[in-house]
Copies of this chain bind each other. A is one copy, B any other.
Amino acid sequence: MGCYDAMFHQKIKDYIKEHREDYIAFLQKLVQQPSTVGNELGAQQLLAERLKSQGCEVDIWEPDYSRLSQHPYFNSTRADFTGSPNVVSVIKGTGGGKSIILNGHVDVVPEGDRNTWTVEPYSGEIKDGKLYGRGSTDMKGGNLAILIAFEALCNLGIPLKGDVIFQSVIEEESGGSGTLACIERGYRADVALIPEPSEMRIFPKQQGSVWFRVTVDGQSAHGGTRYEGVSAIEKGWIVFNEIMKLEKRRNDRITDPMYADNPIPIPINIGRFDSGYFPSAVPDRAIIEGRYGIAPGETIDAAKQEFMQCMATLDQIDSWFTEHPVQVEWPGLRLPPGGIDLEHPFLGVLTQNFKNVTKEDPKMEGSTWGTDGGLLTTVADIPSVIFGPGTTHMAHFTDEYVELDNIFECAEIIALSVIEWCGVRI
């Protein structure tokens, strides 16, 4: 560590220490904004106002639905983005350095049944060093980590050579239109870091996922003469099993060491099996819906093709499917896989700074879920890495929380990594 590095490190440490209570209070305010899909405005205004008050230029805009919806990677359940702006702020570099995007989503999934929460879902209540609330871990705690790093670099006046782009985006949980809109607006960088809740692990590989729906036909009959019908439940179970065999074949191919400890690196999860409505009738239709994991490096189209091929050969298992082929649709979520090459220099920078701050080696894994990194990598060719403070298993769950110490440690590592990556004009 050179003397400049040591000086910057101390400055960052001091900045974080000095502003800790202020940032915790801000995170509480951010969590208190219930920024579910369509309700992101309050949280985005908080962020934009804060950045402006520190002298940062802020780009705040509502994505143009009619234009964005033409994009081949567009995927949304909405009909427009009115009242749901993105917020982007840039520290312009002096030139000659590498640039970085720090990207986090402000949207949160719904809180579900409030009665199952032991804290108010949008309270931001703090107990034992943990801040509770929907979105605290996924991913407002992560957003705070990149905000701290960004503001520290801005306020400390460290003359970076490369650009630092802070992005608070909408819609990650619903298909990624916020990040897609940032790409369409022209924001580019040499690398992207997304502080999704990896629990301080580094995820150089992020799997993608698409949702599928398979419709299986049976043949109705009265329950008292059920042998005159064909149960869509029984035919649906054949389809279920073939999908599970496909999952095995696909996962047997995964040799990526990032997934070495993962029993099923790219799972196919069947999340819905719905057949029949009347106890005394043979059900004539089954709907099977699920989430289809896409391997890092695989294209969505190739993965879909393999699935379709599997469904097209069901008649080899049961001749029923010759006359009654299943229908396959791809409604809902579609997240391409993302990632960064294991030899990419930013990964070295991040790893080294992790060691410097924590005195430990980081855990490196492949993510089990999709992120906006998939769009950055696939659409904009920006290598993307996940590294965030949130508690992985609390994402989308009741009593979601984030550990405050992790946020500040993460912010410190990110700030130092950005300084090293972007370079400083001495």
Contact = CB atoms under 8 A, between A and B. Distances in A.
Interface of A: 207, 209, 211-213, 222-227, 231, 233, 236-237, 240, 263-264, 267, 269-283, 286, 289-291, 293, 332-333, 367-370, 395-396
A270 B369 contact: no
A272 B279 contact: yes
A276 B236 CA distance: 15
A289 B276 CA distance: 9
A231 B243 CA distance: 14
Contacts of A273: 233, 236, 273-276, 283, 286
Contacts of A224: 207, 209, 267, 269, 291, 293, 367-370
B279 A212 contact: yes
A341 B333 CA distance: 62
A177 to B, nearest CB: 18
Nearest to A240: B233
A156 to B, nearest CB: 38
B277 A272 contact: yes
Nearest to A293: B224
Contact of A226 (B231, B264, B275, B396): B264
A272 B276 contact: yes
Contact of A274 (B270, B274, B332): B274
A369 B333 contact: no
- Residue among A207, A209, A279, A289 with the most chain B CB within 10 A? A279
A269 B226 contact: yes
A272 B283 contact: yes
A227 B333 CA distance: 21
A68 to B, nearest CB: 23
